[in-house]
Amino acid sequence: MRNAAYYLVFFIFFVVIILPAVVVKSCSDLLPERTGEPEKVDKPGGLMVSLYVTSKNSIEKIPLEEYVKGVVAAEMPAGFKMEALKAQAVAARTYAYKRMRSAGGTGCSLHPEADVCDDPTHCQAWITRGEMLKKWGIFAFYHYYSKISQAVKSTAGMVILYQGKPIDPLFHSTSGGKTENSEDVWGNFIPYLRSVTSPGEETSPRFVAVKQVPVNEVVSKLRQKWPDIVLDPRNPERQWKVVERSEGGRIKKIQIGNRVVNGTEIRELFQLNSTNFRWERVGDNIKFTTVGYGHGVGMSQYGANAMAERGANYVDILKHYYTGVEVKKIEGLK
């Protein structure tokens, strides 16, 4: 019994103290130290990305393919199918390639000295290996990192082109069944960002969401946003009417009292998951029910995973969500 207790204590000590220390140490060794100095390229001709890291308020140079791994880890669930992860890797690489100044790109508009930043509201999210460890935990880290590395390596150098030029590969979590035309969201017609069907997204935890907002808060926010708005403060929802829907089925224009506003404005004002929403009065609240998550333009990540589960490869996925494109390897890019 004493020997059993001893081994049990040793096992717990090993798992709780020793193993995490070893894993963290090994993870910290995976990337060069962040000195701010340019890193050496492992392979001749390999491209480096100038990345503005928001948390450090500094620019770091890392190999393009290492950058892509960090984006895939940050932007897509690592448990997704391999072909979906490959599609995300190619989209991430294309986004960076289009902006890399060394490849003739314009760089990051918010940080002129960088090619891209890690702010997902402006460029693409990106995380370090240490952050991956925290995100996934010790026991899942090596499996997920190996999986993402395989997705990136097997698509090395591949980018998405439209008429020979790299695209803006916009993506989002969940379309709700059909993606959006670019002009229905931002007003600009982009030929490869067309509305397409996106079945099989019901597995997304945000496929349908409900949010209740107190009536007085609804009225207050509407008046703050549009001071000249006229509506019944007791029953404002009775003066709401959908004026126009997008091809993807989302609310493009909606009448609120005496004003007609964009669905995107209402989504932002009440922090809704998407512009595909309906509303109803429930007691002293207005209940919003949304379908989908994100702007809805470009590749749906949950839709991509559903395609992968049905046997589609990453090229099939990319050509489905980006109309009229080609997926091509650029020599010297990896």
176 is in which domain, residue-wise? 48-184+296-329
Position 331 scores a pLDDT of 79
Same domain, 178 and 82: yes
Same domain, 149 and 238: no
Q: Is residue 229 part of a domain?
A: yes
Tell me the C-alpha distance between 42 and 52, whole Å: 21
Using the predicted structure, report yes or no on whether residue 43 has a pLDDT greater than 60: no
The angle subtended at Cα 326 by Cα 320 and Cα 330, nearest 5°, is 135
Computed over its alpha carbons, how large is the radius of gyration of the chain? Answer: 23
pLDDT above 90 coverage of the chain, percent: 81
Same domain, 82 and 158: yes
Position 50 scores a pLDDT of 95
Predicted confidence (pLDDT) per residue in 252-307, tens digit: 999 999 999 999 999 999 999 999 999 999 999 999 999 999 999 999 999 999 99
Same domain, 304 and 263: no
pLDDT band of 52, cuts 50, 70, 90: very high
Query: Reduced to 3 states, what is the DSSP secondary structure of residue 206?
Result: coil
Q: Is residue 77 part of a domain?
A: yes
Identify any residues that bridge with 293 across adjacent strands, giving them in sequence order. 174
Same domain, 57 and 110: yes
**Number of helices (H), then strands (E), in the chain:** 11, 14
Position 112 scores a pLDDT of 85
pLDDT band of 44, cuts 50, 70, 90: very low
Same domain, 324 and 274: no
Same domain, 62 and 180: yes
Position 333 scores a pLDDT of 72
**Which H or E element spans position 61?**
strand 58-63
Residues 6+ apart with CB under 8 A from 103: 47, 97
Same domain, 64 and 180: yes
Same domain, 136 and 80: yes
Mean pLDDT computed over 315-321: 98
Q: Is residue 6 part of a domain?
A: no
Same domain, 263 and 321: no
Residue type, 257: G
Least confident window among 14-23, 30-39, 125-134, 168-177:
30-39
DSSP string computed for 80-107 = S-HHHHHHHHHHHHHHHHHH-GGGT---
Same domain, 267 and 285: yes
Q: Is residue 193 part of a domain?
A: no
Mean pLDDT computed over 106-114: 89
Average pLDDT value for the chain: 89
Structural domains counted in the chain: 2
Using the predicted structure, report yes or no on whether residue 104 has a pLDDT greater than 50: yes
pLDDT band of 101, cuts 50, 70, 90: confident
DSSP string computed for 3-44 = HHHHHHHHHHHIIIIIHHHHHHHHHHTTS----SSPPPPSST
Q: Is residue 215 part of a domain?
A: yes
- Torsion sign across C-alpha atoms 124, 77, 184, 192: positive
Identify any residues that bridge with 49 across adjacent strands, giving them in sequence order. 62
